[in-house]
Structure 1
Amino acid sequence: MDVIIYKLVQNYIEEKVTDDLKDEFINAALHFNINNDVYKMFSPIEIEYKINKISSGEIKDYVELCSVYGYILFRLIKDNTIKEEDRIEALQIILEINNIITNYIRGIIKEEELFERLMNITTKLNLTKEKNLHIIEKLNS
């Protein structure tokens, strides 16, 4: 994908996510990335509990980070900000994020595999650890 995701995500957060809305935005992005059928199995409170139960702060940060990446990619596609030739790859990444997080909530994968798969997503997006940490910092400030 030729798109410079880092800059697009950074701009999106700066322009559209106010300090007052950051927590709500992260929560909405997380829920956006969970398959609807999971809501038939678990209540929103149980889903939130499973996410909050993640023992590592770093893994939880990456769950939130990749959820935000997935949601912003979706918005960029809807707004025609991403070139046509990159849309399929972006949609595949969104679906992959969705499946990873959903599989964790269902108990199909454990924390370590969750983290490994999310790290693979950031690699596919050509995002370095430093860039990821910068976005995490923006989301947490």
Structure 2
Amino acid sequence: MTSMYIDEMLLNYLGENIKDDLGEGSNEKLIEKAVRFNINECIYTKFDFIRIDYGLKLVATEEVMELIEIYSIYSYLLYRAVETQEPSKEIRVEALRKVIDISNIITSYINMKCNGEELKKALHTILEELNLSQCCINKINSLISIYAMVL
């Protein structure tokens, strides 16, 4: 039941707030912003980010990097939708739980606690659990395509 409201919340955010939140000229920074958002910063030092970037270049295939980027954007948009709107406590908890789930699996991959297949399976499961409408998924994918073309 709450997934319907998460869907509506995301669509409202994408329709009303996204341009204001991302600002002008930030097209090239969306993916970086989203990926950094999903890495659990509290367990890393400043220098760990250099190692993370280096590690991702060594370990991640192009397919895995695309997965990390796409699901990071989904997670980031979901978080921003929650923060810019006033969902009920139940919806807020469910949405933020999915944000944390995505962050945790990406962080696990970066720490080499799971492989690319486990990452892919976990991320797809999380998206399925969100039960987003095809309209919402298409709108997000369209946004991702626009940003990908800019990069």
TM superposition score normalised by structure 2: 0.74
Query: What is the aligned-residue RMSD (CA, Å)?
Result: 2.7
The residue aligned with 1:134 is: 142
Identity of aligned residues (%): 28
Q: What SS does the aligned partner of 2:131 have?
A: coil
Deviations 1:2-42 (A, max 9, x none): 22266346435555446731231221211111112442395
Q: Note if 1:55 corresponds to 2:61.
A: yes
The equivalences for 1:1-141 within 5 A come to 1-2=3-4, 3-4=6-7, 7-8=11-12, 10-11=14-15, 13=18, 16-17=21-22, 20-40=25-45, 43-53=48-58, 54-57=60-63, 59-127=64-132, 131=138, 133-141=141-149
Structure 1: gaps spanning 5 or more residues: none
Q: Residues 75 and 115 (structure 1 numbering): CA distance in 2 closer, same or farther, change over 3 Å?
A: same
Q: Residues 92 and 137 (structure 1 numbering): CA distance in 2 closer, same or farther, change over 3 Å?
A: same
Q: Which runs of 4+ in 1 moved over 6 A?
A: none
2:77 & 2:62 partners in 1: Cα distance?
24
Q: Residues 118 and 8 (structure 1 numbering): CA distance in 2 closer, same or farther, change over 3 Å?
A: farther
**Count of equivalent residues:** 139
1:110 & 1:41 partners in 2: Cα distance?
25
Higher relative contact order (CA 8 A, sep 6+): 2
Greater helix percent: which structure? Answer: 2
Structure 2: gaps spanning 5 or more residues: none
Q: Residues 15 and 126 (structure 1 numbering): CA distance in 2 closer, same or farther, change over 3 Å?
A: farther
Q: Which has the larger radius of gyration?
A: 2
In the TM superposition, residue 51 of structure 1 has moved relative to its aligned partner by 3.0
Give the AA of the match of 1:34. Answer: I
In the TM superposition, residue 97 of structure 1 has moved relative to its aligned partner by 0.8
Structure 2 contact 67–120 (Cα < 8 Å) conserved: yes
Structure 1 contact 103–109 (Cα < 8 Å) conserved: yes
